[in-house]
Chain A
Amino acid sequence: MAGLIGIFDQLVEYERGLLQNIHRAGATRDLETARFRMVKMLNGIGAEGSIADILQTEKIIAQSDLEHFANSKPMRTSLTGTLRQIAGAVNMLEMIADADRYGIFAAGFTQPRNLKRGVPCDEARQFFASQTTRLTTMDKMRMDDASRAIVKARKANVIRADEAYAERQYAVLGFGQ
C-alpha cells in the first residue's frame, strides 16, 4: 500500500482506535500525535498530490466525522451533503479529462452568475467554494491545536485544488492564460 493516501488512511484508522480508547492513560496525547502526523500528510498531499487526492482526503475526513462526531441531525445532513458534493466534484474531474466533452458541457454556461472569470462554476468549483467556506467557519470555533492545524491544512489544500481545477478549465476551454 504505497503512496501518500495509504499512509493518511492509516492515520485516520489510528485516530479511530484512539478515540475508542480515549479514556485510557496517554490516549489523548497519542491522539494529538496522530493528528499532527495527519497535518504532515495533508501538507505533503497538497504539495505533490493531485486534485483527486485532495478530494479523496476530504471524502475520508467527512466519512470519519460522520462516524465519530455526527450526533445531531443537522450535522449528519451537512456531512452527507458534503459527501454528495464531493461525488459531484469527482464526476467533474472525470468529465474534464475529455476536452471535447467538457467543451460541449461548458457551452451550457452563459450567464455571468454561472461563470467564474469566464469558466463554468460547475459542481467541482461549487464544492471547492462551499468547502472553503465551511472550513473558514470551522476555524472560528473553539478547538485544540492539532484539530485547528488540520482545518488549516485542509483549507489550504482545497484552495490549491480549486486553483488547479480552474487552470485545467482554462487549458481545456482554450483560454490564453
Chain B
Amino acid sequence: MTAMTQATARTQEVHDEDDPGARNLELIRKGLAAFDAGDYAEMENCTRQMYRDAEDLLSVKRILGADWIRRMGLDTRPADEKYGHGWLDRDI
C-alpha cells in the first residue's frame, strides 16, 4: 500500500474485539443515527450495548444515578466483580 492508503486504513473503524473504545464509538454513532431517524428503541439498544468497565460504571452512576443503570439494564458485571454486589447502592 502507498503511505496515503495506509494512513486512511489506520483512521478507518477497526471492528477489533480488543478495542472497546472503537466499538463504543460505533455504537454511539449508530445511536445518534437512530435518534435522528426517531428510532428510540434502536437508540436504547445501542446505549445498552456500550462496553463499560468498573470505572465507567461508577462514572455513569455519578452522572445519571443508580436507578438509571438499573432501568436501562446495563451490564454491571465489571463493577460487581471489582466492588462487590451492592455497589450501586453504596457510596464508593
Binding site for B on A (CB under 8 A): 1-2, 6-7, 9-14, 16-18, 20-21, 24-27, 30, 33-34, 37, 60, 63-64, 66-67
Contacts and interface: CB of A to CB of B under 8 A. Distances in A.
Given A14-B47, A20-B21, A34 B63 contact: no
Secondary structure at the B interface, as helix, strand, loop or mixed, is helix
Interface string B29-56: 1011001100010011001001000001
B34 to A, nearest CB: 10
Report the 10 A-B pairs with minimum CB-CB distance, sorted nearest first. A25-B11, A21-B21, A10-B47, A14-B28, A63-B63, A64-B63, A17-B24, A67-B63, A17-B28, A67-B62
Secondary structure at the A interface, as helix, strand, loop or mixed, is helix
A110 B53 CA distance: 54
Interface size class of chain B, counting residues whose CB lies under 8 Å from the partner chain: 20 to 34
Contacts of B24: 17, 20-21
Contacts of A25: 11
